[in-house]
Structure formats: structure tokens, C-alpha cells
Copies of this chain bind each other. A is one copy, B any other.
Amino acid sequence: MPAIAHPAAPAAVTILGGGLVGSLLSLYLARHGHTVNMLERRPDPRLAGAQEGRSINLALSDRGWRALEGVGIAEQIRQVGIPMYGRVMHDQQGRLTSQAYGKQDQAIYSVSRAGLNRTLLDLVEQEAGVQVRFEQQCLSVDVRNQLLEVRDGATGTVAEQPYARLFGVDGAYSAVRGALQKTDRFDYSQSYLEYGYKELNIAAGPGGTWQLEKHALHIWPRGQYMMIALPNLDGTFTCTLFFPYEGPHSFAALQTEEQVRAFFEEVFPDATPLMPELVEDFFQNPTGSLVTVRCFPWSYQDSVLLLGDAAHAIVPFYGQGMNAGFEDCTVLNELLGQLGPDWAAVFKAFEQQRKPNTDAMAEMAIYNFEEMRDRVADPRFLLQKKIESKLSAQYPDQWVPLYPQVTFSHTPYAEAWTSGQRQDRIMARLMPHIQAEEDYDRPEVQQLIAREMAAMQ
């Protein structure tokens, strides 16, 4: 962890939410000398029989790793992650096409949300100065009088708890944000896609082997919908079907076991034989909805701050939801170091710095949905990606494609998005001159590229 020049005056702080971002935040705040009281609505997930929350896999990438390194726990997590070096696209005939995410050794890591949460909670409990309490349901937040109303799940009693500093990391449906929404001039939006998601499974092969390429994120792009799969340590893959709620191909249209089986055999012919529990999973697992949440401000005076999904929930298509929440911790840690004990100044600087970046990330996440479900199946798009790789190799300082900027760099999201949109405009001018990979080296194409690169300066 970097040296802290002017730590905020040590004090008692309350964290509402003991999920991934809440747990990591508690470590950072404790290392700044604060006494942390962390309240989590659900039971301790490390206890036997505890219901796991969302089991969807996560893709950890560089922003997330940096935040974990900041509290010295990256290596531990990396050992249970599976590196994925690129996408493998599966077409409707079962043919495969690969596309690397970045340079040779660059990968995103498939990790289990539940496993990561348990590991973080183990670390939190070892940390002096952090107290965690489970089954603490926040019923209301009185931001004016700085009071939480909390129901204890074990005893059923409801108690008021005062707080001096409250960190709302209680997720996309945040109770803390719900209280801020009722204060004057709080901008807020929640916006749903007309798509839901359903978690499904690909079984392990004999002896816990992987039946698809292990070190890749698999995509079955089908235009208006898609399925993806991420590898697990036990040889299985966790699949997610992103699918319209209504329409000819939709959740509404698949009502019977026969309909589900026929549909999957037709559109995912190579995956379906690997999914023996398909029908049970399809009807037993809930259909999740996909929300983008934007709000501002994220703070209330010097007493409340929102972080993670509570401040900026995004759709999962860029694999950046958790990474963005973890990066919040990195940024807050830096500001606590720089601005000393002035909480109001820290909160203001934090929201000013982060808001444009998480807004950009929200847009990119929706943009990537279109790319993943539709454009990656288009040969012209794949050719364009190859040309972009060549551009990046020829002009490594000037041309970093959007995906690696988001995934393998710490460039602020808003900057990455601006440069990605500029690259899109350049590619739109370039691609009409290119019919095959080798056209890249034609003199007129090279002249055009040189002009575009000069104009980018």
C-alpha cells in the first residue's frame, strides 16, 4: 500500500454492505486508521448452508487487480482465477473463431463471485479495527439526523444506530441512495434493458476436464441475443443467456421443456449436448434484469458517500462492474492520502473525479452488448479488429484499442471512451479501402493511415 501523507483523522465509520466493494473498502479505511463498523444484510456466506447471492462469474482485470494489490491480497486471489486470453466465438454451425483481448500475456481472470467474497471476508475479520455484522437489514436512513434504522435478523429487533460517516456500498438497489433520492436536487435514473439473463451450466468432462477451451471467454453471438460461458476451476463453465423478455425469440416464447430444448439445439448446437441440466436450470433459475443506475451527487455533506453499484450500477457486458467498484476504492484511498482529514473535501473530489468516468463506463457497457451479441459474428467486424491490431503494432503509442484501454490500463474510463470513439470514426473512413488483411500494406492505405495519425496529434 502506498505511503499515506496526510491521513484523515482516525474516526469511527459505518459501511453499509459487506459485498465485494464494501469488504475491500473496509480494509482500505482500516489501514487509514479508522474504526470500521460494517453491516451486511445477508447471513455470513462462509457458514454452511448459507444461500449464495448472485453466483454469476466475474472477470477480474487490471483495475480490479490494482485495488486488490493496494491491500496486498492480489496474489491470493490470482491463484483461484482462470486467465482468459481472448474470446472464442461459436457460430450456428459450431465453427469457432478466436480473438485475443490484448497482447500475448494479457488476460482477464474468471473468478467466482462467492469465492472472492468469502476470501475478502476472511481478510476483513483478521483486520484489527473492522467489525462485521451479518443479517443487519437497513430499513431506513435518516440523512439529516445521521441515523440508521436496522433490523437484526437473528433477534428480529429493530434499533436506531447513529453514524458519523456512512459509506453506502449496498449495491444497485441501495437503501442509502434511496434516502439521498429524497433530498432536494438529487439527480437519479434507473434504466432497464429489454433483455433479461438466465444462468445455465456446461458440465465438466471426464476427470474434471474442460469440454471447451479453458482459457477463453466463449460467446455464441446471435444478433438479437447471445450466450456466453466462463470457465470454473472444477471443469464446468458458467453460461449466461442474455435474451429479450418479449418477441419471437424471447423468454416469453419459451414456455415448455420441448420449446427450450428445440430452441437450444437449433441455435447453440455445439453447446447444448454439453448442458445435461439445461431444462432444469432454465426453469429453476430466476430471470435477472439488467439495470443501469446513474445519480449525482454521490455524497451528502461530510456524512454520506456512495460507492460501487450503489453509485453507478452498470450492465455486465464489459466485465467492468466489480472492477469499477474496486477502482473507486483505489481513488478514495489516494484522496484520503492527499486531502487529509477533510471528509467533505474528500467526498467532493471523489464524486467530481469518478462521475464522468463511471458515466463513460456505463455507456461502454451498453455499447459492448451490441458488439458481443451482433457485431462479433460479422466477418467485416473481425477484419476490422485485425486491422486495428496492425495499427496498434505499427503505432503502439498512438493507437491503443478501446478494449485493452478499458481492461488492461488505468487510463480513466472517460478518456478511454473518447479515444475509442475517435478510433471508430477513423476506422469508418479506413475500412472502405480494405477488403482483406493484406490491403493494410497497400501504399494508398498506408498514406491514408499516416494522414489520420498525423491528424490525431
0/1 per residue, A409-431, Cβ < 8 Å to B?
00000000000000000000000
- A187 in contact (CB, < 8 A): yes
Interface string of A187-199 (1 = CB under 8 A from B): 1111110000000
B189 near A188 with CB under 8 A, answer: yes
The total of chain A residues at the interface (CB under 8 A) is: 14
Whether A191 lies near B184 (C-beta < 8 A) is: no
Q: Does A285 interact with chain B (Cβ within 8 Å)?
A: no
How far does the alpha carbon of A188 sit from the alpha carbon of B192 in the complex, in Å? 9
- Please pick, from B173, B181, B245, the residue contacting A190 in the complex, using a CB distance under 8 A: B181
Bound: A191/B191 CA distance, A? 14
- Of all chain B residues, the one with the shortest Cβ separation from A188 is B190
**Nearest CB in chain B: distance from A352 CB, A:** 14
For the complex of A and B, 7 pairs with smallest distance between CB atoms: A189-B189, A185-B192, A188-B190, A187-B191, A185-B289, A184-B289, A187-B192
Asked if A186 is an interface residue, CB under 8 A from chain B, the answer is yes
Shortest Cβ distance from A196 into B: residue: B185
Q: Roughly how many angstroms separate A186 CA and B189 CA in the complex, as a whole number? A: 10
Q: In the assembly, what is the distance between CA of A186 and CA of B173, in Å?
A: 12
Question: Which residues in B have their C-beta under 8 angstroms from that of A173?
Answer: 182
B189 with A191: CB separation less than 8 A: yes
A182 to B190, CA, bound (A): 10
Instruction: Find residues 155-184 in chain A having any chain B CB closer than 8 Å to their own CB.
Output: 173, 181-182, 184
Which residue of chain B has its CB nearest to the CB of A185? B192
**Inter-chain contacts of A189 with B (CB < 8 A):** 188-191
For A191, give the chain B residue with the smallest CB separation. Answer: B187
How long is the Cα–Cα vector from A66 to B52 in the complex, in angstroms? Answer: 57
Number of copies of this chain in the oligomer?
2
Known pairs A185-B192, A186-B190, A187-B191; list 5 more (Cβ under 8 Å): A184-B289, A185-B245, A188-B188, A188-B189, A189-B191
A245 to B297, CA, bound (A): 15
A191 cross-chain contacts in B, Cβ below 8 A: 187, 189
Residues of B close to A182: CB separation below 8 A: 173
Give the nearest-CB partner of A184 in chain B. Answer: B289
Q: Is the CB of B187 within 8 A of A190?
A: yes
Task: Kindly state the separation between the CA atoms of A192 and B186 in the bound complex, as whole angstroms.
Answer: 7
Can you report 16 A-B residue pairs in the complex whose CB atoms are below 8 A from each other?
A173-B182, A181-B190, A184-B289, A185-B192, A185-B245, A185-B289, A186-B190, A186-B192, A187-B190, A187-B191, A187-B192, A188-B188, A188-B189, A188-B190, A189-B189, A189-B191
In the complex the two chains form, what is the Cα distance from A185 to B187 in whole Å?
A: 19
Please name all residues of chain B whose beta carbon is closer than 8 Å to the beta carbon of A190 when the two chains form the complex.
181, 186-189
A181 — which chain B residues lie within 8 A by C-beta? 190
Chain B nearest CB from A397 CB (Å) reads 39
User: A289 to B189, alpha carbons, bound, how many Å?
Assistant: 18
Q: Chain B nearest CB: distance from A222 CB in Å?
A: 22
A226 CB to nearest B CB, Å: 20
A185, A188, A192 interface centre (most CB from chain B within 10 Å): A185
Nearest CB to that of A189 among chain B residues? B189
Q: Residues of B contacting A186 with CB < 8 Å?
A: 190, 192
The interface bits of chain A over 216-237 (1 if a CB of B lies within 8 angstroms of the residue's CB, else 0) are 0000000000000000000000
The CA of A186 and the CA of B188, in the complex, are separated in Å by 13
Q: For residue A184, which residues in chain B have a CB less than 8 angstroms away from its CB?
A: 289
Docked complex Cα distance between A396 and B295 (Å): 45
| B residues near A245, Cβ cutoff 8 Å | 185
CA distance A185 to B172 in the complex (A): 13
How many whole Å from A317's CB to the nearest CB in chain B?
Answer: 18
Interface residues of A in 272-302 (CB under 8 A from B): 289
Complex Cα spacing A58 to B81, Å = 63
Report the minimal beta-carbon distance from A86 to chain B, rounded to whole angstroms: 33
Near B by CB (< 8 A), chain A positions 92-117 give none
Whole-angstrom distance between the alpha carbons of A365 and B185 in the complex? Answer: 18
Q: Which chain B residues lie closer than 8 Å to A187 at the CB level? A: 190-192
Identity of the chain B residue whose Cβ is nearest the Cβ of A287 in the assembled complex: B184
Give Cα A182 to B173, complex, Å.
Answer: 9
- Name the B residues within 8 Å of A289 (CB-CB): 184-185
